[in-house]
Copies of this chain bind each other. A is one copy, B any other.
Amino acid sequence: MSTPAPEGYDPHAYAPFAVTVDLAVFTVREARLHVLLVERGQEPFRGRWALPGGFLLPRESAEDAARRELAEETGLGQDTVGALHLEQLRTYTAPDRDPRMRVVSVAYAALLPDLPEPRGGGDAASARWWDTGAAGPLAFDHDRILADAHDRIGAKLEYSCLATAFCPAEFTLGELQQVYETVWGVELDRPNFRRKVLNAPGFVQAVEGPPRRTGGRGKPAALYRAGDATALHPPLLRPPGPDAPHSAPEGRER
């Protein structure tokens, strides 16, 4: 057998690796999917944009590290970040993914409602939201991670209640529909969307009181709040396109 230390993990027999987390933090802005990126201030990939992330501390789990980095990059409070849904995407381990050293990275995805521009905190030269369509070639293998994250989020919208994470505490069904349309890149029929959402037990719950108008024009919409369900029954399937990105649910993973 070729494994260095398969049974007794001899601390001197294994190769040491650096372990990082990378974060794909999404929001919906003006009907476009945006992702939080930071500009690299050093080589390699100096001046290129990258997913925020960083090294695990010696006594820290990957999810803790992801929350810590997220708080640093967005300026969100610990309480907000602590309650947030963080989805572990997958781990990237190609030996040459960092030109300088061996780094394996655990990727996470997070969803936020539309926020003010990030407080370019942390170490990055600058941080801002990018339209996912306009985000140029990123540093390292982050284009791939970003694409995987987008796929996974799109798939999870089908059978989970995750979409409400993109919305503020109270939202209209039109806003929720906007999330689906933006992430999937399709247009949905409004009455049908409404019917499905209201038929899914625990997806949303109506807010008492008078309706609020969204943008100003049109009939005021009723307000809803996220329900207590986490899974969607029946699922809200995206229309079968000719490309059908429903292939390798790895990205999905459910």
Q: Report the bound CA distance from A55 to B148 in whole Å.
A: 26
Q: Report the bound CA distance from A61 to B94 in whole Å.
A: 5
- The answer to whether B61 touches A93 (Cβ under 8 A) is yes
| Contact (A56, B249) CB under 8 Å given A7-B42, A62-B104 | no
Q: Which of B68, B100, B240 contacts A2 (CB 8 A)?
A: B68
Q: Digitize A71-114: 1 where CB-to-B-CB distance is under 8 Å, 0 elsewhere.
A: 01000000000000001101101110010111110100000000
- The answer to whether B246 touches A63 (Cβ under 8 A) is no
- Tell which of A11, A42, A63, A246 has the most Cβ of chain B within 10 Å: A246
Cβ of A206: which chain B residues have Cβ within 8 Å of it?
A: none
A175 within 8 A of B: no
Cβ of A220: which chain B residues have Cβ within 8 Å of it?
A: none
Of chain B, the residue at the smallest CB distance from A122 is B1
Which of A38-72 touch B at CB < 8 Å? 40-43, 53-63, 68-69, 72
Cβ of A17: which chain B residues have Cβ within 8 Å of it?
A: 16-19, 56
Stretch at the interface among A155-163, A164-172, A190-198: A155-163
A253 to chain B minimum Cβ distance, whole angstroms, is 4
Q: How large is the interface on A (under 10, 10 to 19, 20 to 34, 35 or more residues)?
A: 35 or more
- The answer to whether A249 touches B93 (Cβ under 8 A) is no
- The answer to whether B54 touches A6 (Cβ under 8 A) is yes
Q: Report the bound CA distance from A84 to B231 in whole Å.
A: 31
Cβ of A124: which chain B residues have Cβ within 8 Å of it?
A: 6-7
Of chain B, the residue at the smallest CB distance from A53 is B6
| Contact (A231, B244) CB under 8 Å given A15-B56, A106-B93 | yes
A136 within 8 A of B: no
Cβ of A244: which chain B residues have Cβ within 8 Å of it?
A: 231, 233
Q: Report the bound CA distance from A251 to B123 in whole Å.
A: 32
Tell me the A residues contacting B by CB distance below 8 Å: 1-9, 11, 14-19, 40-43, 53-63, 68-69, 72, 87-88, 90-91, 93-95, 98, 100-104, 106, 121-124, 152, 155-156, 159-160, 230-231, 233, 240, 244, 246-250, 252-254
Residue contacts A-B, CB under 8 angstroms, 14 given = A3-B69, A3-B72, A6-B54, A9-B55, A16-B18, A19-B104, A58-B102, A61-B93, A88-B91, A90-B90, A104-B104, A159-B249, A231-B249, A252-B254
